[in-house]
Structure 1
Amino acid sequence: MKRSKRRSVGFLIGDNGLQISAPLRLSVTELHNIIQTKSRWIQQRLSQWETRSKQTMPLAILLAEGKPIPVRGEAYQLQTLPTRSKALLNPWTKSIALPACENIEQRIKAIEKVLRAHAKEVFTHMAAKLVERQALTQLLPNFSIHLSSPASRWGSCNSKREVRLNWRLVHYPTPLIEYVIAHELAHLVEMNHSARFWAVVESLMPDYKEPHKTLSKMNPAEVPTILL
């Protein structure tokens, strides 16, 4: 808990669990009562946080422990190349070859660069295929695909018709990636989450509900764990 010169009590579920920010003037009894009124919300959020913490982990931990990297839901083994060699992601051998790095920070930057390039290619291709196979092609205006790296969302769409997708989606199986793309493409037609919006999502991806449910339990800032 943190005390500060704020006017209200704030609750935040982060990487370290629950953080409460409270005014200096608030008594312990008053604070306790406020926490009690929020207890159900806190328990639900902590449960969701605990579930996500078991299903995802930071990329740095995977690299430090030498574990395989998930790419489109499959385990890719890491290989080390001579210094100054060009990094390479090979879908055929399910491997990612990286030049030798001096430290973990350099290794993270090197692998993220490779994964981002692969993500841009995969996302662009998937978006084109989604548009081709649905009946509302004429309703979807031209758009452009961009990569982003937000810590709390999978994608976004703006009035400039820019579809921004979290590059970490490249770690997930194809249906989950397709769902996020379909979701953002639907926003080109409906900039809301109305019944009409979900109808457009369904026209793009009829079986969107299960991927939608799965991603709601995942952490957009981390990497999904792989069961080997």
Structure 2
Amino acid sequence: MVKSFSDLMSGKETFLFSKWPVEVHRRPFRRSVSIYLYPNKPIKVMASKSTSQKMIVDFLMVKKDWIEKTFDKFSEIAEKFPEKKIKAYEDFPFLGKDRKLKVVITLHKKPFVSVTDDHLLLHIPRNEWSANSLIEEHPTALKEIRHFYKREAVNFLNERLTFWSEQMNLRPSQVKYREQRTRWGSCSSKGIINLNWRLIVFPQEIIDYVIVHELAHLQHMDHSNRFWSLVERYIENYKDIMKSLKESQYLVEFLSENQ
């Protein structure tokens, strides 16, 4: 069940547990054992330097059913939201609408991305253009795609935040745009609102809900009935939107630097 091996060149401590590779990351003052699961990656174990491999394996055994279910869920998600390839005619979501990637030539010296009603346009400089540009993948263009989405997100989210701030008469002390894996927004006790710029892939109604949700925290720093009543005053169908966001949250994964 467990086969150990070491990677002397990298210094990693790895072994095989059941059918899954495991990477152990040790910290000198850590008191507990924790595991982290990610799609298409080894099980990551955080443990102290004194924790034996047997203790780690015993811990994994206790969590085996959960590990199995989680990796099964990852497989289901991968099937529903397949990895996107940066090539012509691939669909990319933007403001709730799938737009096909169209590769076009440009006289500019650097590649860039723009958008139309139906297409996401990847502009390839003439000096990089080849006979295969229309059929090959362009994995290095992820940088330009991320830059485009973030730029458009900051502009659009700013507009919607200004609109809802006026409607609700609630204004943050500061707004920051971040890239978080599992959170769409947050509001601090100092009135600072953080918004996940990858929201730009979703329809406006989802974006509006997240903004109203965070603005409502300026008045109620909890999820009390008063808080939800305030949200519902402006977004009557917020429960349906929350469900839609949860079901479509993995649409943003193509924007991750390390897919």
For 2:42 and 2:242, the matched residues in 1 are separated by: 26
What TM-score, normalized to structure 1?
0.73
**Which residue in 2 is equivalent to 1:81?**
105
Q: Which has the higher contact order (CA 8 A, sep 6+)?
A: 1
The counterpart of 1:13, out of the listed 28, 34, 37, is 37
The answer as to whether partners of 1:130 and 1:182 remain within 8 angstroms in 2 is yes
| Superposed displacement of residue 150, structure 1 | 1.9
The answer as to whether partners of 2:201 and 2:251 remain within 8 angstroms in 1 is no
**Which residue in 1 is equivalent to 2:193?**
163
| Superposed displacement of residue 142, structure 1 | 4.5
The answer as to whether partners of 2:114 and 2:120 remain within 8 angstroms in 1 is yes
The counterpart of 2:221, out of the listed 177, 186, 191, is 191
Cα distance per residue 1:29-48 (max 9 Å; x no partner): x834x445445654554455
**Which residue in 1 is equivalent to 2:156?**
122
Q: 1:87/1:179 Cα in 2 relative to 1: closer, same or farther (>3 Å)? A: same
User: Are 1:222 and 2:246 an aligned pair?
Assistant: no
Q: Alignment partner of 1:8: what SS?
A: coil
**Which residue in 2 is equivalent to 1:31?**
57
Alignment length (residue pairs): 215
| Superposed displacement of residue 10, structure 1 | 1.4
Gaps of 5+ in 2: 1-21, 129-136
Q: Which has the larger radius of gyration?
A: 2
The answer as to whether partners of 1:72 and 1:170 remain within 8 angstroms in 2 is yes
Single out whichever of 76-85 and 44-53 deviates more from structure 2: 44-53
**Which residue in 1 is equivalent to 2:23?**
2
Q: 1:105/1:223 Cα in 2 relative to 1: closer, same or farther (>3 Å)? A: closer
> Cα RMSD over matched residues?
3.4
For 2:66 and 2:232, the matched residues in 1 are separated by: 31
Cα distance per residue 1:36-85 (max 9 Å; x no partner): 54456545544554444344455xx3314750221112122324131417
**Which residue in 2 is equivalent to 1:68?**
91
Q: 1:41/1:65 Cα in 2 relative to 1: closer, same or farther (>3 Å)? A: farther
AA in 1 matched with 2:124: A
Gaps of 5+ in 1: none
Single out whichever of 193-202 and 70-79 deviates more from structure 2: 193-202
User: Are 1:53 and 2:84 an aligned pair?
Assistant: no
Identical residues among aligned pairs (%): 25
**Which residue in 2 is equivalent to 1:210?**
240
